[in-house]
């Protein structure tokens, strides 16, 4: 099972990635994790990436694709792999295709913007323990207070409505084009084209998980 998960920030990709990883016994490939590991290991690509990062630059697609290819040679990728948060742009998707990175499925988790804003802006966190609440879906017993300690809950900067809307705008401008890109490729009938599946990311987590598993078995 070799797949790419697509969807806006806050769509629940991370949660579903965990279920898919466990079911198919495959690793989740995160470019951030790969970069950190390559830098820590001092690999040639890691050293190159470190130079760019130390200078405050963005690591090029060439380096990222090189890291992906290295990562996919590792034994835990023998049964497949799951990309979450990559590729983010058409040049990255093209580079993956040119590098011959095999993909069986592209799974899109679709959630409307207003649902994401409500989902993320309603989150509240007890920082010391990491316990999370939601003002609407999982409220604390006492408004604004942690159930266990009674300490104040905070809203993380990432969850503030303006920040969520900015992240969604970036997704729509840069990454949403991949929905069309992979859809067209899936329908092209070309050899090596992945299957494209779309499920709703709204509703109970277990239902979304079951729908994801069903989509990946067709």
Supply the residues annotated as catalytic: 13, 88, 123, 156, 167
How many other β-carbons are positioned within 10 Å of the β-carbon of residue 189? 7
For residue 84, give the 3-state DSSP assignment: strand
Looking at the DSSP assignment, which residues form a beta bridge with residue 132? Answer: 125
Looking at the DSSP assignment, which residues form a beta bridge with residue 107? Answer: 5, 197
State how far the Cα of 218 lies from the Cα of 87, in Å rounded to an integer: 23
Residue 37 half-sphere exposure, CB side, CA atoms within 13 Å?
11
Kindly report the three-state secondary structure assignment for every residue of 103-171: CCEEEEEECCHHHHHHHHHCEEEECCCCEEEECCCECCCCCCECCCCCCECECCHHHCHHHHHHHHHHH
How many other β-carbons are positioned within 10 Å of the β-carbon of residue 163? 15
Contacts for 75 with CB less than 8 Å, ≥ 6 apart: none
- Helix boundaries (H) for the chain: 13-24, 31-41, 44-54, 61-72, 90-98, 113-121, 161-170, 177-188, 205-215
């Amino acid at each position: 099972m070799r797949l790419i998960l697509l969807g806006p920030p806050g769509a629940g990709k991370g949660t579903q990635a965990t279920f898919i990883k466990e079911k198919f016994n495959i690793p989740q490939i995160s470019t951030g994790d790969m970069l950190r590991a390559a830098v820590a290991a001092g690999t040639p690509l890691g050293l190159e990436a470190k130079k760019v990062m130390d200078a405050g630059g963005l690591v090029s697609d060439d380096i990222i694709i090189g890291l992906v290819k290295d990562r996919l040679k590792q034994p835990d990728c023998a049964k497949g792999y799951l990309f979450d948060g990559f590729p983010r742009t058409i040049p990255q998707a093209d580079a993956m295709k040119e590098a011959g990175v095999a993909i069986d499925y592209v799974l899109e988790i679709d959630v409307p913007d207003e649902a994401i804003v409500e989902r993320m802006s309603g989150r509240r966190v007890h920082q010391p323990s990491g316990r999370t609440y939601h003002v609407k879906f999982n409220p604390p017993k006492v408004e604004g207070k942690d159930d266990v300690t009674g300490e104040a809950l905070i809203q993380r900067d990432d969850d503030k409505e303006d920040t969520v809307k900015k992240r969604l705008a970036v997704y729509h401008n840069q990454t949403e084009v991949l929905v069309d890109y992979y859809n067209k490729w899936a329908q092209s009938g070309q050899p090596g084209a992945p299957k494209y599946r779309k499920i709703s990311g709204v509703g109970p987590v277990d239902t979304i998980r079951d729908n994801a598993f069903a989509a990946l078995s067709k």
